[in-house]
């Protein structure tokens, strides 16, 4: 297994419900480390750009409207096998199908309002991290 980085977004309903800490704690307690973080209220253009891969999907308008409905908490997470690990910790896209104990099972409301986003592959992780963070904004976690 290799050390990887992946993009994580805590979505508007979870930020609104004051669940940032509870969700970050899930990642930290299960082997992932925050190496960049910022709160941001995405514009429509930013949301359309970030989710461009879904632009032909029937739910695209709803997705953009929702992700711009309030601030989101955007992070780069690092760890062994971080892309798959993050997806395990999040659970299935649809909270109704997410395994017990996963973030989406515990906090998600619906397939659209599903608490967190996470990159799905190495190339998307690289692109998604670069979409939000410049190189100098992602920290190597050294101490002393
Ligand atoms: P996310 O991981 O952010 O990536 C794209 C998002 O589209 C996904 O989470 C879901 O929230 C959303 N999505 C996927 N399928 C549907 C759907 N059928 N209806 C509404 N939203 C959807």
Pocket (CB within 6 angstroms of ligand 1) = 54, 59, 62-63, 93, 111-112, 114, 117
Does 1 have pLDDT greater than 80?
no
Angle at 131 between CA 127 and CA 135, to 5 degrees: 85
Nearest CA to ligand 1 atom 11: 112
pLDDT at residue number 79: 98
Does 117 have pLDDT greater than 80?
yes
- Note the pLDDT tens digit of each residue in 43-93: 999 999 999 999 999 999 999 999 999 999 999 999 999 999 999 999 999
Task: Name beta bridge partners: 77.
Answer: 6, 34
- Note the pLDDT tens digit of each residue in 118-144: 999 999 999 999 999 999 999 999 999
Per DSSP, 96 falls in state G
Torsional sign, CA 90, 94, 100, 106: positive
Q: Are 68 and 41 within 8 A, CB to CB?
A: yes
SS3 category, 1: coil
- How far, in Å, CA of 141 to CA of 135, rounded? 14
Q: Are 111 and 37 within 8 A, CB to CB?
A: no
| 16 a catalytic residue | no
Nearest CA to ligand 1 atom 1: 117
CA of 142 to the centre of ligand 1 (A): 36
pLDDT at residue number 72: 99
- How far, in Å, CA of 125 to CA of 5, rounded? 7
| The token pair that represents 99 in the structure block | 């395994």
Of 20, 49, 24, 45, residue with least CA distance to 34: 24
pTM of the model: 0.97
- How far, in Å, CA of 134 to CA of 144, rounded? 24
CA of 96 to the centre of ligand 1 (A): 13
Q: Are 120 and 83 within 8 A, CB to CB?
A: yes
């Amino acid at each position: 297994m290799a050390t990887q980085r992946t993009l994580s977004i805590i979505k508007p309903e979870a930020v609104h419900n004051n669940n940032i800490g509870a969700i970050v704690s899930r990642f930290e307690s299960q082997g992932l480390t925050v190496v960049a973080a910022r709160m941001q209220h995405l514009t429509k253009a930013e949301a359309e750009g970030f989710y461009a891969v879904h632009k032909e999907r029937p739910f695209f308008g709803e997705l953009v409207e929702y992700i711009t409905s309030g601030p989101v908490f955007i992070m780069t997470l690092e760890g062994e096998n971080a892309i798959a690990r993050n997806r395990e910790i999040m659970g299935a896209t649809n909270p109704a199908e997410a395994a017990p104990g996963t973030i989406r099972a515990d906090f998600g409301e619906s397939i659209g309002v599903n608490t967190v986003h996470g990159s799905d592959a190495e190339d998307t992780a690289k692109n998604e991290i670069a979409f939000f963070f410049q190189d100098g904004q992602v920290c190597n976690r050294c101490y002393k």
